Chains A and B, each alone.
Chain A
């Protein structure tokens, strides 16, 4: 028999306030393997990982680590047994050096004072293990590193506690393709040194590049386990969705023919900002224009320029053929443009505000009845929006902090629709939300466009752009590199590289 498995979890149950999140999960991680864990949002992935790393204690079930039974009272206890987790939101302090960050929790101390030299040397060894010793210095401040480099430092940090099992939570979510390749190289190096890894991801294609086995979680149970060589993306999707297989990632929106004589609702001409170079495109009423590009290509910056967040150095924005000057979001909103920003939690919402207060945030002045807010009308409008967008909430007085990602995003969209915007800029509106909510959101956007409005759509999922947009511009290094009419996911993937 091969050596004892790195982790064996049997019949793990975990509930929060009477809500069962894990309903008897069985999971096994073999020594030295890279094991992918997939599932929709809410399937229980993060809860399972938090049980494995000691953040949560299971209500029932048993754990054994390298053949020894284990029960962790804290993350410290799990770390002592060699389990480390690299979180999606990185836990590094940007203003401190790489070495300081790596030894944040276990400083090397001699006679009560920090031994900087020893930590430097140890950091260098760890960076070597990850394969980046020649490009990242232990003395460098973390804020000077790219997202990909930070991810690798985070892994080095996990190694500093002698981790033999590393859990990676969505490690590629904010990395460019080149950075992802580098990460994979580092992961393989660790594997060759006998480290076992759990790899959580939404990007199913990555699994086939790097993982040995894959487990699918659905509704708190582990429903399938395959060797990667024996499965395929459609099979994984089917297992993740269960009954909901019918909902594939094809939105089948009827594309709109551009009436030749019509005035574009939005036209940008030769936009130049500190990030953009001569960007031009047109959006006609009833049209969805896609901007496809890698992270950092300038796709977000185009939206920011239109929304008045980045000052224009030259170029023009025309609405309905009329040139407008937009220098702040307030002016953009006044001109009928609104933005659903990239990061709903930090840019789109005020988390401690209620659904109601968030919904009217953009249109406070419209609801002000000479002096006072018209509370009844505001509530009426909010109820109507919540119903129209099917926001799942305990009520409009609920703080948005407690809504799920998809419902939070619906509130952001509702907030923008409420301003009577004619032009909606969507920056990756379906990022990190589950399939059902994605469909609902795309449905809302489609309805909005059919009323003769215009949408500029940025997405990190090319299948979405391919099947949803009437025309797509490829963005590279702050320029428009190409325009594609009808397209497919594969062609887009090739075009943006």
Chain B
């Protein structure tokens, strides 16, 4: 008989409930908006696809950030990478899609590599390196564009990277699901994923176990910046233009999505599926608040409250467990 990993049917422990809370919050919010915003068309297929469209970029960045936080690192520079990559792709599109897209991804990967080398080889905390890189990257983007919006005039590009629909389904939704599925498999099913979690869970034990912790850190920072570059390309395709301000406001949304999803800020615990649900919650809330007719100021305040509330729910039980 082969031995398979079977989870015993024990009643759920506190810790397991905590992992599930996020799904209850998701369903609860969905039901809430469905009931109260029914007449505003929340449940209409078009609106739901709109939520997916608005959430796609956040989700893709959240996948990368899940890896970074799981390895007990942080990346503050990904928002700047989004803008630089969008601008790069927009500027290079006249030379062809096959040059522009790889170049934009390459620029992102290069930013991640610089972050990673300073963290892994020089030993500077990622918080400081990526904080500094944010300034450098944003500065370059502003300089190159002279603060102008770069138009994107390339139908095929726009269709594949953001504006297109296949049947009723937006390509953005497809990008989101593909990246999330890939990220989930990478984190859960490959040795790289285990090494990321081990490095974040206990750096010393991981090193003693023969894991090259510095290389793991380098890889997660490159991965995150590359995914941020992809998000930048998708922004350029969806808006059919690129501007240095893109990605500026995504920092809070992305980190909140990852944390709400159940990834630990302190490393060692990470879930891509949770991050996806976290991002969808953020997108749903945004959409709901707009449908309610709130103005931007009110949206900001309510969004902040909801983030803190959701994080309290998912992290509150964790603290109790640690105390015991």
A residues neighboring B (CB under 8 Å): 307, 309, 328-330, 332-334, 339, 341, 346-353, 356-357, 360-362, 364-365, 367-368, 371-373, 375-376, 379-380, 383, 395-397, 415, 419
Contacts and interface: CB of A to CB of B under 8 A. Distances in A.
A51 B198 CA distance: 36
A445 to B, nearest CB: 18
Interface in B162-209: 185, 189-191, 194-195, 197-198, 201-202, 204-209
Contacts of B8: 395
B211 interface: yes
A350 B206 contact: yes
Given A333-B209, A350-B197, A397-B5, 14 more contacts: A333-B210, A334-B210, A341-B208, A346-B202, A346-B204, A346-B205, A350-B206, A351-B202, A352-B269, A353-B268, A357-B194, A364-B211, A376-B2, A397-B7
B4 A353 contact: no
Contacts of B5: 356, 375, 379, 396-397
B212 interface: yes
Contacts of B208: 307, 309, 329, 339, 341, 347-348
A333 B206 CA distance: 13
* Interface size grouping (class) on chain B: 20 to 34
B301 interface: no
Interface in B233-284: 268-269
20 contacts: A329-B210, A332-B210, A333-B209, A333-B210, A346-B204, A347-B205, A348-B208, A349-B205, A350-B268, A351-B202, A352-B269, A357-B197, A360-B194, A361-B209, A362-B209, A372-B190, A376-B3, A379-B3, A396-B5, A397-B5
A373 B190 CA distance: 5
Nearest to B207: A329
B223 to A, nearest CB: 16
B205 A352 contact: no
B311 to A, nearest CB: 19
Interface of B: 2-5, 7-8, 185, 189-191, 194-195, 197-198, 201-202, 204-212, 268-269
Contacts of A375: 5, 189
B189 A380 contact: no
Contacts of B268: 350, 352-353
A356 to B, nearest CB: 7
A186 B265 CA distance: 43
A348 B205 contact: yes
A364 B3 contact: no
A379 B209 contact: no
A351 B194 CA distance: 14
| Shortest beta-carbon contacts, A-B, top 7 | A364-B191, A350-B201, A333-B210, A330-B210, A361-B209, A350-B202, A368-B191
Contacts of A357: 194, 197-198
Nearest to B198: A350
A212 B198 CA distance: 48
Contact of A380 (B3, B190, B201, B209): B3
A57 to B, nearest CB: 15
A368 B195 CA distance: 12
A450 B312 CA distance: 55
Contacts of A376: 2-4
A396 B212 CA distance: 25
B18 to A, nearest CB: 13
Given A346-B204, A361-B206, A379 B4 contact: yes
A368 B207 CA distance: 19
A328 B189 contact: no
B209 A329 contact: yes
Contacts of B185: 372
